[in-house]
Structure 1
């Protein structure tokens, strides 16, 4: 059920909303960590190549499908080819899984932001603080509820008055905060007890210098999978979000230009996020501080802020405010996709579906919170990692479903519908699609092969080969 007048007011509103979805928590903590883990500049190089090729193809495909069909992901594939409607259902699963834990992470960020607002934050830098918080019974649920309520309020207000208006206000502030903190990180210095000095510029060199040592075919595939999974999460492709946002784009908007702007926004912010975090962690904690996932943001960085002295608290407040903005814009896009799909599925108005999705999000997020205490377990995943409930949801959505959906989408567009269907939509208003040749080649011959390989890597199949 499409609301009357449910659309972005123009190109700027769409680009900022889409960029807001793309620029999320994954850009801020996951991208810097992966750079440090996967050879610094080597990961940057691989990621940039993927953005200019796979990212461009997948982003263009999703947005064009949305605008051409004027339907959300659940119905768009059925409109393309009725026999492929199952792909819409698979796509619907991704935001449904992500929504279970995104507001939980948003709650963690809210907790730390308020901690630095009301105190000097020394407790946050203490060993065991983060673990004590997430394993407690009530506190994580309370902060998750605050974050989820704010997300639901934005989505409840609709596309133009809610998502677009919110993005126009938040995104410029988010970019400015990231830029200021990134520049500040480069000015930092620290002297160890042995007299050795580490500087922010040395941290920047560690960040951007490629490390080819120990590179094997299997290792390169692992880096490729890390970069591609980051691309999926970062650009919000293969999860129905960009199809949903594309359905709100007016016909007169230049899709080619808008796609390029989203790519620039996302890649620029991801790079700045690395420049913001890695030099600071390197200066005060060395390479040992480059822990993965939540540990980087909620354990390593509070120690960095504590080591900064009187500057630590204001920088921490600015950082977690920025993190809150990034998490909120992404969580809004995930919830909006679920609400829009449910409106199509049940033919109910936005307000009712927003309430239903909000209840689903609340119940599942509580279960994720309990996954760190009452429902705690450890499970070995096919990609070799060990995780609990949140990690399982993240693995299924990002490492398993997204490559699989991209594989099927590339087959549908490249070989069943034909790439000219997408090219024609991009050139609807007479605009020249400069990368049309690259698009046709990639969607037919390259994307299916690489997505199949990545899917096999994510399932652990390649361990039997290499």
Structure 2
């Protein structure tokens, strides 16, 4: 990674916003409330918050530490830790697999985020009386999907082409505060509506008897894992853009806190909104008490809720909500697309504009193949990346850092941080924790996912 200023974050707040933006994605605002609603509300929330601390936080530190140590792309950063030709090759393979995983994640993620863009445009068309256009924007037709998938990817590439400071950092600083503001206003508004308090009780009052249920534990483990983008190498790339003296434990704490806050705010808005919708006559549960349309919750229950509101309010709320979803999709997609872009720039000496354009064209091509074979490939891409490759890559990273990175070299990396004493309890425990506990927890996820 070139050491020029433009290839590093210019400020801590810039890094925190970018890294939090990477972690805060559709998984938080779409996935987390859906998981919480399906797996016992308060019990799920409690387990999730514990797992963020015991798995998410230490693994995020690991990825950032490897990236900053390497100051290069994930494949070469992993190889740098190895101390034998074989261990270097294994490290490069793990890093390269994470780059391929990130690229494939972009395919379904761009389609999903394209839906958010079109659903944000629909109420604007509806408010101006273009009912036919509004209907087209919210149906799942081939033409709509092809157009808005492409639009979303072009938005991402436009940001990435501007570089680390002028693109990723600047837009993260703009979009993340806007996302938080919309979420807070959404929570305040939804909680004033009839029926909301029932949803709030479901979310905040845990049924302790459900905490040890396998579905709740595994759902929370998976959500912890995927919401922080662990195993996609995005954090390794952002770690490479960090200065050597930055305190990684402190920065990671801010990122983890922001990510968890957004997930909680999203749940505080969406779960009460479900009960408001139910109060207004929208069916959200089936006869056995299970959630209807859990995978498409935000595309079915929430628009149905908006439709029950009076006059222009339904259009305003629908527009604001789907702008929020678009921002969440955009901040995550920027970090994921930066992974293959940074790799291509280093390996070919291609300048950023061309590398971003090439990767953008590749992702558009792959995404449109998925759109054209939606029933076969959409679910397959989600499974192969988030349920197979991501956990395996994360396991590789934990084992590699814990068992291959020589202790003295790791201690030296820790000591280079400003105001950090490697003899403190946290830094004495962390390497051992990543060596033993993280692989154990990740193996549990993998076992459940592969046998689910």
| 1:435 is aligned to 2:441 | no
Cα distance in 1 between the residues matched to 2:60 and 2:430? 11
Matches within 5 A, 1:248-267: 248-267=241-260
1:126-171 deviation digits (Å, cap 9, x = unpaired): xxx799822x221111111211111100001110000001011111
Alpha-carbon distance between aligned partners in 1 of 2:348 and 2:284, rounded to the nearest angstrom: 51
Structure 1 CA distance for aligned equivalents of residues 55 and 129 of structure 2: 43
Deviation at 1:121, TM superposition (A): 10
Aligned pair partner of 1:133 in 139, 147, 150: 139
Q: Deviations over 1:412-435 (max 9, x none)?
A: 111221566555434422324663
Residue pairs, 1:190-209, within 5 angstroms: 199-209=195-205
Cα separation, 1, equivalents of 2:408 and 2:32: 34
Q: Is the 8 A contact 1:225 1:457 kept in 2?
A: yes
User: Residue 438 and residue 116 in structure 1: after superposition, are their counterparts in 2 closer, same or farther (change >3 A)?
Assistant: farther
Q: Among residues 329, 353, 356, which one is paired with 2:331 in the alignment?
A: 329
Which 5+ residue runs of structure 1 have no aligned equivalent? 190-198, 378-388
What is the aligned partner in structure 2 of residue 417 from structure 1? 405
| Uncovered stretches (5+) of structure 2, i.e. residues with no partner | 83-87
Write the mapping of 1:131-280 to structure 2, written as runs, cut at 5 A.
Answer: 133-134=139-140, 136-189=141-194, 199-211=195-207, 219-220=213-214, 222-280=215-273
Residue 285 of structure 2 is aligned to residue 288 of structure 1: yes
Q: What is the CA–CA distance in structure 2 between the aligned matches of 1:131 and 1:142, rounded to whole Å?
A: 10
TM-score by length of 1: 0.87
Corresponding position of 2:368: 366
How many pairs are equivalent?
A: 430
In structure 2, the residue matched to 1:344 is 346
Inter-partner Cα distance in structure 2 for 1:427 and 1:391: 44
1:122 and 1:186 map into 2 onto residues whose CA distance is 30
Q: Tell me the CA shift for residue 224 of structure 1.
A: 2.8
1:380 is aligned to none
**Distance (whole Å) between structure 1 residues aligned to residue 317 and residue 411 of structure 2:** 46
Deviations 1:297-324 (A, max 9, x none): 1111100111122332211111111111
> 1 CA distance for matches of 2:129 and 2:221?
37
Asked if 2 retains the 8 angstrom alpha-carbon contact of 1:10 and 1:250, the reply is no
Distance 2:74 2:256 in 1: 21
2:122–2:137 contact (8 Å) kept in structure 1: no
Pair 123,203 (structure 1): closer, same or farther in 2 beyond 3 Å: farther
- TM norm structure 2: 0.89
